[in-house]
Each structure stands twice: as structure tokens, then as C-alpha cells.
Chain A
Amino acid sequence: MNIQIKNGHLIDPKNGIDAVRDVFLSAGKVLAAGTTPSGFVADKIIDATGLVVIPGLIDLAARLREPGYEYKATLESEMSAAVAGGITSLACPPDTDPALDEPGLVEMLKHRARALSQANVYPVGALTYGLKGLELTEMAELADAGCVAFSQADAPLTDTRVLMRAMQYAATFDFGVWLRPQDSFLARNGVAHDGEVATRLGLLSIPVCAETIALATMLQLARETGVRLHICRISSAAAVAMIRAAKKEGMALTCDVSMNHIHLSEMDIGYFDSNCHLIPPLRHQRDRDALRIGLLEGVIDAICSNHSPVDEDAKQLPFAEAEAGATGLELLLPLVLKWAKQGKHSLAEAIAKVTLNPAQILNIDAGHLSIGAVADICIFNPECYWKVEASALKSQGKNTPFLGMELQGKVLYALVNGQIVYQSN
């Protein structure tokens, strides 16, 4: 099938394109951009006048809740939410039930996802069995089954010897290890940043040093083992500074941040808004500002949705008892655009944080629209405002700190492998 995307504003950070260009797709690939290739006859023309055409978004942290948590969300609901958010590839953390620690589970997940023929799913395998932090998983087997990296998700790995062994083993095969830094003793039972808001509200808190101490350990072990380390969802200014220094020293290190943390702070908890009960906790405004600067400087490579759909009942509880997490797939693009607009950053710069950069972290050939590239594409209306409300979200998770807010930027089409998998009505 030949598709012509007509008159759209093409932004392709990898190829430095930021201009109105037609895009021509054939056999699931990008055939050309700009002038019509000779002999091209479009089976379908998408009129993208006034719209922006970008590589499909790549989300480094999207919980699909399968297997095990189907009451929170299903693969069907979350996969359709992903493409409605313009996300054409996503990495899912291993904290399912059971955890993604067996090749069979990974194959099943990939198979189920493929059958839905929507976004590409890249499972992140468990680094240790059951995410218990004790025994290494069969990483090579898991990689053969389709895992793109290995992680503990939000589960602690307190035994530093196990962590070092896990990194050594992963480094043997050049597998990436993705870790979220948090010292589990310092963070024990904590639900909010150790600051003024937690003090006022009487919430058990998580100090910044819980993040920096764990991060220091991870960085040092990565230096020792030479593992390809990706740091997930940092939350503090201090962590940004440490990663900046590590990168300066020449460490091969990447880092992401959740979209919630570049826009919100502890103040947004207000009067115990459980939608702001997130992992990691929302920190001080100074931390948020440092995360935004870190993004701009490239200290932080990517923005992820950290999509964690939670069922309604689990949020209708006092703050500390309410389950942490927020839906995110359909908010990723608008919140990235919001960051760009507020910081007066170019669209290309912002888009790279959710396309090209995460593709490089995943080590996949995606996130760009070069000639011959797989036609994973997102087309959005940059001017359209929409209100975040339950009925507007395809995700089964309806909880987000942005509930009730108007966001700018609406996805109109998503294409995967040159097929239209989502079209807004």
C-alpha cells in the first residue's frame, strides 16, 4: 500500500528536517520525503495541512499490566491507548505478576502484542528472579525471547554483590541494565518527598539521599563492570548533577525522566491528591527545574510516560494507602509539547526526547524517518486543545495529576509499519 502524507510539517530530528514536506510510504517503509518519487501512485492520501508529522513516539516505560494485573488494565486497552497517544514503540517494565523472568512469559507477551498489530512492544526483562534481588535470570535466553534490556523495575536490589554480578553478566552479552535509583532503607514506607509538604501533611517521606546514594552505588558498579547502564526516572537536582558529572567523565550512560516530574512538584499534592502519589515522589520545585535543565542540556536523554494505570478503587484511599502511579500514554506528547512551549525549546529538540533518543537507548532502528526506515509515524494537530478526562482516555487507567486540565496537541493519526493503526474521529 502506498500512502502519501500531504502538506504536513515534517519534523525528523535525526535528519535535521523541520519543514513542510510530503512523505511517501510504500510497503511499510519511508520511500521519500519532499518530491514525489517517479511512478508513485498513492492508494491513500492523508491531508496533513496544518499538522505536524513526526516519527512515532517511543516510550521507555509503559506498564501494560499483563500478565497478572488485568483488573488494572489489559493489553488491548493499553495498546490502543498507546497508538492514540502517537506511541508506536514502547518498552514495558518487568513488574508484572509473575515478573518477566521466564522466556515463555516474554514470548507470550510479544505474541499477544503482535496479534493486536498496534505498537511494537519491547519487553524489559527482570534482572533477578521474581525481581527479588537474589538470583540472576537467564538473561541470554530472555534476550532471545525478545527482551531488550534488564531491570528491577521499582523493586529494590539491596545486595550490592548481586547487583555487581548482574551488571557483570549483562556486560558479558552487552545487554543494557536499566535501574531506578532508590535506597530501599531510606525510602522505607515513604510516599512523598522529604520536604515541606510531607511535613505539613504528616506523610512519611523519601529523602533525596535515597536517590543519590543508590545512584552513586550504581555509577560506581557500572564503572567497575563496564555495563551499559540506563538510569530510569530520576527525580532530584542532585541526581541530575551526578549524572552530568558522570557523563562528563566519559561514562557511557543514559538517563530518562518521567513526564510528570518535569511539570509537577510536591506542591501539586495539595490536600492529599492521591493522583500525585507517584514513584518516584514529586520533589521540590528546584528539583523540577533542574530536571528541565538536565533535559535541555542532554544530561537526561529521554522523557517517558511512566504509564502505570491504576484502578479507581486503589486511588480512593488515604494518600499513603492509595496505589502509586498514573496513566500516561495519551499524555506523553502533549506534555512534551508543553515542556517545549514553556521553555521555548524547538519542537525538533523536544521530539527527539521521545523518538530518536529512546530508540538509541533501546538500540533499535526507529525514531527517525530516513529513506528506507520503517514507517512508524505520528501525525498531530499542534494547536488543538483537549481536556484530560476519563472519557477522553482509552487507557483503562483514568488517574493522572493532569485530570481536568486542558492540554495542547492532539494525535490524529498513528502509523506502524506503514499501516494506519489509529485515526482520530
Chain B
Amino acid sequence: MNNPQLNKQGELQHLLSTEGLPARILYDILDRAATFVDVAGRGEIKKVPLLHGKSVFNVFFENSTRTRTTFEIAAKRLSADVVNLNIGSSSTSKGETLLDTVDNLCAMHADMFVVRHASSGAAHLIAKHVAPEIHVINAGDGRHAHPTQALLDMYTIRHFKKEFHNLRVAIVGDILHSRVARSQIHALTTLGVPEVRVIAPKTLLPSHVEQLGVRVFHDMQQGLRDVDVVLMLRLQNERMQGAALPSAQEYFKYYGLTQEKLALAKPDAIVMHPGPMNRGVEIDSSVADGGQSVILPQVTFGIAVRMAVMSTLAGGK
């Protein structure tokens, strides 16, 4: 089966998932992102003309402020024209299908779509549908993938840890519902991290998750032992309403990241979170704001990584 993300030359055509991409492409994106961060040496990322004259459409069928904003900033720093569309769920209730919406936007001469949608596979569907000169970036589809988040996490890990091949990384929390976790797992294993752990109660783990190449822990104390990187996941409040978890309090007690639990990891372990955080639910404030937290650098790097993805797709090959 052809990888829908690559063109016939094996170059990145769309960024839909971190799964199935060769390590070379991931490293290229991280290296390219580094050039933008270097430019930002004094705290500001310089505007570059790589996407001058191109139109980037941020099409968000699901609400997001942070991700959309960082994509918007990234596109503007690349000198692209940016159009933001928060479509939400209203347009479907008006009867317009996803692909009708996309066709309309194509008619407005979009060069690149940044798409977020509540359904897994939405970005794949759009990528399959659009003309070959149009690029699609998945900004999160259902529970499936959020590749730019995973790439910015990889960038952050590399920034602080230099190498991937000697790391032990733990992903903690709601793996079942998390597109971030899936994308992180594929990126970490592709980049050669020898041990990726997932830590969660059984109700928050998808079945056969070990087939993604991870070690499964249900006990956070055991799972955090000697890890180099702790990737926390956001726990949606609605998880408490179904049968997944009894209460936020109990969850925090057993799976919330506190200083005591973090002390089990390596002394120089870093703590990351894709945001927005639920303080006191999955992470204690003292950890989130503590010396091992690199949560704010993640956000900064996120802009550079998204610039790297966009400029790679736009033909800066």
C-alpha cells in the first residue's frame, strides 16, 4: 500500500501522521526547525520569505486556540497569507459535507490546508481528495494523530537530551483517547528510542497497545523509574462521566505527576505536557512550574517545528 504522505519520489507530500515516515524525514524536519530557532536566538523568530505568495488555510472543524494560533504564527513568519476558518460543527448541521467545504476552499486557491477534525482519518480523506499541488497538514484528527505536536515534542527532547538512542521515555495518562500519544509513540520508535513506556489504568489504554512497540505499566511508581523523559497527557474532564475513571481525585492520587513520583525518574529527567494542563488532575503545579518542566519551551519550539513542516511541504526540499 502506498504511503499517502509521500509522493512518488519519497518526499513528504502531506503530514498526516508520524507513523510510517522514514527517520530521515523526521530528522530533516527537526534540523530545519533548528535553523529557525537559531534565527530566534534573541527570543524572536525572524520572518523568512519561504512561503511568500502562498495561502495557508487553517481549517478547524474542532475548536482549538493554541494549536491554531501557533500554526498561524508559523505561517506568517514564513510570509504566507493565512486564512483562519473555525468551522466547528455548525457547517455540518447546515448540510455541507467535509469534502464540499474543502472543495470550496480549494476554489479560493489554497496551497496548504492545516486541518483539525474530531473524526479519525479526516485529514487522510482530505489529502486523498485534493489536487496534487495542495498539501495537507493534520493538526489533530479524532484519536488518531497529531503529528506536529509529536514533532515539537521530539524537537524538545532532542534539544535537552541531544540523542534519542539512549533514552527511556514514559508517556503517562489517557493513551486511549489521545492522538498526541499515538503520534509520540510512532515518532519515538522511529527515531530510535529504545524504551517507550506507557503508564495508565487499563481503562485508558487501547487494546494491543504493546503492538505499537511500547512497554505497558499500570503502576506509575514502577513506570517512572529511571526514565529520562516524562510526557504527560491531558485528561479530559468528560472521562469522569463515563465508566473510564471514578474521580479526578483518585486519578491524581495514582496517576498525577507529583514531585515525589518524579523523584523516581532520573535526576535530570524532563517533564513535558502538550497543554492545556489540568493542574491538580494529571500534574501538580509544583512539577508544572518546577525546574524539570520544559512545558513552555515546547510552545516556542512548536512554532519553529510548524514552520519547518510547512516549508518542507511547500517545496523547500
Contacts and interface: CB of A to CB of B under 8 A. Distances in A.
A195 B182 CA distance: 15
Interface string B90-129: 0000000111000000000000000001011110110001
* Residue with the greatest number of chain A CB neighbours at <10 A, chosen from B1, B19, B120: B120
A318 B142 contact: yes
A194 B145 contact: no
A313 B97 contact: yes
Interface in A183-241: 194-196, 198-205, 207
Interface in B212-239: 212
A202 B185 CA distance: 13
Contacts of B145: 202
B8 interface: no
A121 to B, nearest CB: 33
Contacts of A271: 1, 4, 121, 124
Contact of A202 (B98, B179, B207, B208): B179
Interface in B171-197: 179, 182
Contacts of A199: 206-209, 211-212
B77 interface: no
A318 B211 contact: no
A19 B182 CA distance: 57
Contact of A200 (B1, B19, B124, B125): B19
A321 interface: yes
A319 interface: yes
A318 B143 CA distance: 12
A316 interface: yes
Contact of B207 (A205, A270, A317, A318): A205
Nearest to B119: A318
Nearest to B127: A271
Given A202-B182, A316-B97, A318-B98, A272 B121 contact: yes
Contact of B125 (A198, A201, A204, A272): A272
Interface in A311-365: 313, 316-321
* Residue with the greatest number of chain A CB neighbours at <10 A, chosen from B119, B121, B141: B121
Contact of A320 (B119, B208, B209): B119
A197 to B, nearest CB: 9
A317 B98 contact: yes
A194 B207 contact: yes
Contacts of A204: 143
B119 A196 contact: no
Contact of B212 (A194, A200, A203, A270): A200
A318 B97 contact: no
A320 B143 CA distance: 11
Interface string B143-155: 1110000000000
B97 to A, nearest CB: 7
B182 A196 contact: no
A194 B97 CA distance: 28
B99 A316 contact: yes
Contacts of B208: 195-196, 199
A267 to B, nearest CB: 10
B120 A320 contact: yes
Contacts of B125: 272, 316-318
A319 B121 contact: yes
Nearest to B122: A318
A204 B97 CA distance: 22
A320 B142 contact: yes
B120 A202 contact: yes
A195 B142 contact: no
A319 B128 CA distance: 13
Nearest to B125: A318
A195 B179 CA distance: 17
Contacts of A205: 206-207
Given A318-B142, A319-B119, A272 B99 contact: no
A203 B120 contact: yes
Contacts of B120: 201-203, 272, 318-320
A198 B121 contact: no
Contacts of B129: 316
B198 to A, nearest CB: 11
A262 to B, nearest CB: 21
Contacts of B124: 271-272
Interface string B135-172: 00000011111000000000000000000000000000
B13 to A, nearest CB: 13
A321 B207 contact: no
A199 B185 CA distance: 12
A297 B4 CA distance: 41
Interface string A267-294: 0001110000000000000000000000
A318 B117 contact: yes
Contacts of A319: 119-121
A201 B119 contact: no
Contacts of A316: 97, 99, 125, 129
Nearest to A284: B208
Given A272-B124, A320-B142, A198 B119 contact: no
A386 to B, nearest CB: 23
A319 B122 CA distance: 8
A198 B177 CA distance: 12
Given A272-B125, A316-B97, 11 more contacts: A194-B207, A195-B207, A196-B208, A199-B209, A202-B182, A203-B120, A205-B206, A318-B119, A318-B122, A320-B119, A320-B120
26 contacts: A194-B207, A196-B208, A198-B206, A199-B208, A199-B211, A200-B182, A200-B212, A201-B120, A202-B141, A202-B143, A202-B144, A204-B143, A270-B1, A271-B1, A271-B124, A272-B124, A272-B125, A316-B97, A316-B125, A317-B97, A317-B125, A318-B120, A318-B141, A319-B119, A320-B121, A321-B119
The 4 nearest A-B residue pairs measured at CB: A202-B143, A272-B121, A202-B144, A318-B119
